[in-house]
Structure 1
Amino acid sequence: MKIDDLRKISVIGSGAMGSQIAMVCALSGYQVTLQDIQFESLEKAKALLNSQMNKRIVKGKLTEQVVEEAFARLSFTTDLKEAVSDTDFVIEAIVEKLDIKRQLFAQLDQLAPPHTILATNSSTIVSSEIAPATNRPEKVCNMHFFNPALVMDLVEVVQGPHTSDETAEITMALSKRLNKTPILLQKEISGFVANRILGKIMNEAIYLLENEIATAEEIDLACTKALNHPIGPFALIDLTGLDVHYNVRMERYAKSGDEADKPSSLIVEKVERGELGRKTGQGFYAYN
């Protein structure tokens, strides 16, 4: 398969990442199916995408015609077989739990055409841990978008030892056609490039907060005003979700056995209280 043969994309998981990845693909001219096991999640995703696109129309970033055409190319379904039976490329964006991803990829392998590439948006679970669940390991890779996918420019493509050159080349080419800037990692490493660097910043930010050296607001201000980051680490954790941060750290701890990889007690306490960030209205900050 070549990049010009790619016509249809399926995105699995309609959360904040999955829904925006689907819209990025639709805006770039591809036929896209967004699948989720919960109808309510799809309805919420549709409403949020409508709101986000309307804001871009008001700001003059997109025209009504462009948005209407994108939505015409985007369909929603709870039926996995319907979503992938004639697709060329799958992007998985479900919960960061290895066993669930493996189950999904085993299903995708049975339902999708033989030529279809199966990519995971995960930045912590490398695709070599998922590929054995399929009979097409050479067509499995990581394709990591950043949150919010409609805004963030970078995509990390990871070519595992099982991933063919053709799969890596097509995934890089697709990223460019989605108007993103891709980088290719030719070796697997958990966290890839950007999040490994970001993880060190977050660890230090949490240390400073837990030791009452500064408040979350002050630490975020130090990053935005002194380091020129667009958003502080605590505001970013709220945006992506404290549950996501928790699951990522737990996956890392499960692999390493290193206590330092566990989520901090501060994160654990907030997750247990249901303070997951923007999605629940309360995290390190309060949201209306």
Structure 2
Amino acid sequence: MTAGIRPGAPRPPVPDGPVAIVGAGTMGAGLAQIAASAGRRVVLHSRTGTRLDQARTGIEDSLRRLARRAAADGTKAPDPAVVLGRIHTTTRLEDCAGAAVVIESIAEDRTAKQELFARLDRLCADAAFLASNTSGIPIGDIAAATARPERVVGTHFFSPVPVMRLCEIVRGPRTGDDTVAAARTFAAEIGKESVLVERDTPGFITTRLLTVLILEAVRMVEEGTCTAADLDRACRLGFGHPMGPLASVDLSGLDVFQDVAAALHRATANPVFRAPALLAELVAAGHHGRKTGRGFHDYTATTGAP
């Protein structure tokens, strides 16, 4: 049965209550920001207080940038103090109990996600849905760790979360229609547009397509066809991409992308997902992109990538 919300049809409401975000990295912090900006109370969880402090600082900086930009444009932005006041940070997973919506955004580790969802299933029995922000791990595998797989769904957001409008809603083999509808409603509530991935296929829609593009871009640079700077410039000017594929993978992390490509290759046995040697060489050298100062581009200068 295909679930979805027809254009113009009324959307079923998502129950009032806090949104629990588990994982306070770049994606988790961004999710906390947009949920709080939309008026929701947020519980942001991480295992370490240091990560939570970094997340709160990052959220505050992002909100202040948006406020300055809005003031310059004559538009309105959320009050940073009000938004931050809606976000409660915690190292206790038990504080997520009672959440109306739960979104997991931890590292792409299947076992870790399964263990987490087993705990969240017990703690958050009244949540409208339990969602994973995974970019490629099958939702069915994650849902199998719970007693309510029909309430588990994929909500794949894009970085930077406050800016990117897309959210892939991923249906697992046992995800219920009401869960899909609730996830789409929530995505709209926090200002995102969603597409529905009906088949729980590795890489979903965008990760699968983007991985092929990035790997081919790496091959072209490896072969000496062009420089990374010119390849990214060609994609921006010729295709209208806001960011070239190599700058994009620098932002997400070459080490993360290497794992994604390897997982897709294992799952599909499709040679298009076989990574070039150049990718492995950069990762082994510690050049993981923006977070290390160098990837396909050099970020040690203030100007960043071309």
**Common topology (TM > 0.5):** yes
187-196 or 231-240, larger mean C-alpha shift: 187-196
Tell me which of 16, 20, 44 is aligned to 2:26. 16
| Partner of residue 34, structure 1 | 44
How far does residue 211 in structure 1 lie from its aligned partner after superposition? 0.7
Letter aligned with residue 189 of structure 1: T
Letter aligned with residue 33 of structure 2: M
Identity %, equivalent residues: 32
What is the 5 A alignment of 1:210-225?
210-225=222-237
Unpaired segments ≥5 residues, structure 2: 1-11, 301-306
| Partner of residue 141, structure 2 | 129
Do residues 58 (structure 1) and 71 (structure 2) align?
no
Shift >6 Å, 4+ stretches? none
How far does residue 29 in structure 1 lie from its aligned partner after superposition? 0.7
| Partner of residue 80, structure 1 | 93
C-alpha separation in 1, matches of 2:50 and 2:89: 11
| Partner of residue 191, structure 1 | 203
| Partner of residue 180, structure 2 | 168
C-alpha separation in 2, matches of 1:71 and 1:273: 38
Whether the aligned pair in 1 keeps the contact of 2:128 and 2:179 (CA below 8 Å) is: no
| TM-score (structure 2 length as normaliser) | 0.88
57-66 or 87-96, larger mean C-alpha shift: 57-66
What is the 5 A alignment of 1:1-288?
3-60=13-70, 66-82=79-95, 84-256=96-268, 261-288=273-300
45-54 or 148-157, larger mean C-alpha shift: 45-54
Whether the aligned pair in 2 keeps the contact of 1:34 and 1:76 (CA below 8 Å) is: yes
C-alpha separation in 2, matches of 1:166 and 1:200: 33
Letter aligned with residue 12 of structure 1: V
C-alpha separation in 2, matches of 1:255 and 1:220: 28
C-alpha separation in 2, matches of 1:52 and 1:67: 9
Whether the aligned pair in 1 keeps the contact of 2:37 and 2:78 (CA below 8 Å) is: no
| TM-score (structure 1 length as normaliser) | 0.93
C-alpha separation in 2, matches of 1:64 and 1:192: 33
How far does residue 172 in structure 1 lie from its aligned partner after superposition? 0.4
C-alpha separation in 2, matches of 1:210 and 1:155: 32
Matched length? 286
C-alpha separation in 2, matches of 1:244 and 1:282: 15
Distance 1:173 1:258, change over 3 A: same
Whether the aligned pair in 1 keeps the contact of 2:67 and 2:79 (CA below 8 Å) is: no
How far does residue 96 in structure 1 lie from its aligned partner after superposition? 1.0
Whether the aligned pair in 2 keeps the contact of 1:97 and 1:251 (CA below 8 Å) is: no
Whether the aligned pair in 2 keeps the contact of 1:131 and 1:140 (CA below 8 Å) is: yes
